[in-house]
Structure 1
Amino acid sequence: MSQAPGAQPSRPSVYHERQRLELCAVHALNNVLQQQLFSQEAADEICKRDPSTLLHQGHAGDPEMRPVLAPDSRLNPHRSLLGTGNYDVNVIMAALQGLGLATVWWDRRRPLSQLALPQVLGLILNLPSPMSLGLLSLPLRRRHWVALRQVDGVYYNLDSKLRAPEALGGEDGVRAFLAGALAQGLCEVLLVVTKEVEEKGCWLRTD
């Protein structure tokens, strides 16, 4: 069906969660998956669920099959003591594993030209983020999780601290964004891929 003269093409619908508490890991998971699959409660369960529940015979995406990290720990090392989130990478990796996906750390020593982006479902970055108290900026930095994802041929920065998704363009655009982030130091890049891609190693270009 043709569009009326002068009509603007509709923009793709991009799922983007905004920051709440210290839940950037949860937001990054949902943003990279482009749907709300995880909550604070689900992340807490990954941290503490009794391993005996893993005996349930279900498929990889079944909540009962999701991995656990520290079921008997009162002071759980994978989240904030205040109960506001601040989950570490183990929670992110376990959450994705529970959905049948895999994660691969990108070796920052490799040139980004070797990253086979078409084989990658999405990327999750761990970046230093400035802290503030109201309008007062503090001389401290905390770690912040940020998702990058392609939607309809366009890569987006889905940082939960942004008001709206930031379009990065095609592969050149996302590589430039990654290069800038890595150049600042203290940046880690986690590739989200299928199990098959992980096993074959085809997230890495060899040509």
Structure 2
Amino acid sequence: MDTIFHEQQEGSLCAQHCLNALLQGQYFSPVDLADIAQQLDESEREQMAVGGIETEEYRRFMEQPSNNFDDSGFFSIQVIEKGLSVWGLHLLPYNSQDPVAATARSNPVEMNAYICNFREHWLAIRKLGYQWFNLNSLLTGPELISDTYLSLFLTQLQQEGYSIFIITGNLPECEADSLLKVIPANQPIKPKLINEKNIKKKVTDSDVKQALEASKNDIDADDKILQETLKKSMEGYFYDETLPSSSSNSTEVKETEDKPIVTPSHEEIRSKRLAFLSKLECSSSDKSDANQTTDSEKCNGCDVLQKEQKVNGPEISDEGNDEDMLKQAIAMSMEGLG
């Protein structure tokens, strides 16, 4: 089995792996196949130019990417067929009406090799010595196929959607073919798909992704709570005594993330203050006439102030009380604005 040439999948270079496995040697590189693809592109361009390079068909053709290869390493069946023609080999569709195809369908072991394609993946099946091998580059190594199983295997590939081509012509001689005619291969353990190595990794990556997503959700929730708290603490009016007197009489609007915070102008504060003091004086006068309050209980704000004075120190003068009452009135007017 060690003498059988087998390339494991690299990128999207399955066309290269398929050809080299079929020919049993490193005959084609990505550069070789790209050169063939470019030759095919140039030939197609010349054919389209026959109708005129000013036509709409030619313009659309030139705008389209190549159908023969791309940067990922994909190569079309035309590239594979062109590469095989160098060795005198040709492709024949498995389901064609050609007599050779009919023979292959009735007795697959009569052929020398097949190549199959499904969703742009190419694989080779070849007879080496007197035995058949699946040389799929997605396997860790060549897979021995019995003559009996070969027909079932090809039928299975067709049912899965594979396109199957028969290789016609004489394949080049190789060491594995000569050796296996003398010493047939024995394979007690079948090779595995190379992507099985990545299954656990994919599961692990999925778990990590879920954990990161959950962590992100927790952070977003905490951040939302913090933002709500900040927003509530910033709602209402804010007065800055350092504002210049030349500020606009119109209300200034400062936008936050979710709700604008409005800063009152000096004129609005003055109007609110005067209205509050006028209301306070009327209220004090009414209460005095009805004998329902004492002089020290002119308003709730004064009551609070006097309680603090009794705790913190001696009473202050009437002039001081008036000034403090004015400050308290301003503070309460600000609360009224909020």
What TM-score do the two structures reach when normalised by structure 2?
Answer: 0.40
After the TM superposition, list the runs of 4 or more consecutive aligned residues in structure 1 that deviate by more than 4 angstroms: 108-113
Post-superposition CA distance 1:23-72 (Å, at most 9, x none): 101110110111111110000010113xxxxxxxxxxxxxxxxxxx1125
Greater per-residue helix proportion: 2
Q: Which of these residues, 89, 93, 104, is aligned with residue 81 of structure 2?
A: 93
1:115 to partner: Cα distance = 4.2
Distance 1:12 1:193, change over 3 A: farther
- Mapped pair 1:121 → 2:112: yes
Q: Which residue of 2 aligns with 1:180?
A: 156
Whole-Å separation in 2 of the counterparts to 1:180 and 1:111: 18
SS state of the match for residue 70, structure 1?
helix
Pairing partner for 1:44 from 12, 34, 48: 34
Change (3 A) 1:18 1:105: same
Which residue does 1:58 correspond to in 2? none
Q: Kindly state the Cα deviation for residue 143 of structure 1 after the two structures are TM-superposed.
A: 2.5
Query: Unpaired runs of 5+ in structure 2?
Result: 46-61, 171-338
Q: Distance in 1 between matches of 2:107 and 2:28?
A: 28
Give 1 or 2 for the bigger CA radius of gyration: 2
Q: CA deviation at 1:179?
A: 1.1
Does the 8 Å CA contact 1:28/1:160 hold for their aligned counterparts?
A: yes
Instruction: Give the secondary structure class of the aligned counterpart of 1:125.
Output: strand
CA contact (8 A) 2:6 2:21 kept: yes
* Residue pairs, 1:52-201, within 5 angstroms: 69-71=40-42, 75-80=65-70, 83-107=71-95, 113-115=105-107, 117-118=109-110, 120-127=111-118, 142-170=119-147, 172-184=148-160, 186-194=161-169
Q: Could you say what secondary structure the match of 1:149 adopts?
A: strand
Q: CA deviation at 1:112?
A: 5.7
Q: C-alpha root-mean-square deviation of aligned residues, in Å?
A: 2.3
CA distance in 1, matches of 2:115, 2:103: 18
CA distance in 1, matches of 2:72, 2:146: 34
Distance 1:86 1:43, change over 3 A: same
| Mapped contact 2:114–2:165 kept (Cα < 8 A) | yes
Flag the structure with more relative contact order, 1 or 2, with Cα contacts below 8 A and sequence separation at least 6. 1
Judged with a 3 Å threshold, the aligned counterparts in structure 2 of structure 1 residues 85 and 177 are, in CA distance, closer, same or farther, namely: same
Question: 2: CA distance between counterparts of 1:113 and 1:192?
Answer: 13
Distance 1:124 1:191 in 2: 7
CA distance in 2, matches of 1:176, 1:108: 19
AA matched with 1:30: N
Contact 1:181–1:187 (CA under 8 A) maintained in structure 2: yes
Distance in 1, matches of 2:107 and 2:34, equals 33
In structure 1, runs of 5+ residues without a counterpart are 1-10, 50-68, 128-141, 196-207
Question: Kindly tell me: are residues 116 and 167 of structure 1, through their superposed partners in 2, closer, same or farther at Cα, counting changes over 3 Å?
Answer: closer
Question: 1:64 is matched with which residue?
Answer: none
Q: CA deviation at 1:102?
A: 1.4
Name the SS of the counterpart of 1:95 in structure 2. Answer: helix
- The Cα offsets for residues 104-160 of structure 1, whole Å up to 9 and x where unpaired, read as 111079696424533x33110012xxxxxxxxxxxxxx3210110111211111110
Bigger proportion of residues as strand:
1
Residue 32 of structure 1 contacts residue 122 of structure 1 at CA under 8 Å; is this kept in 2? Answer: yes
Q: Deviations 1:163-191 (Å, cap 9, x if unpaired)?
A: 11111122x2211110111122x211011
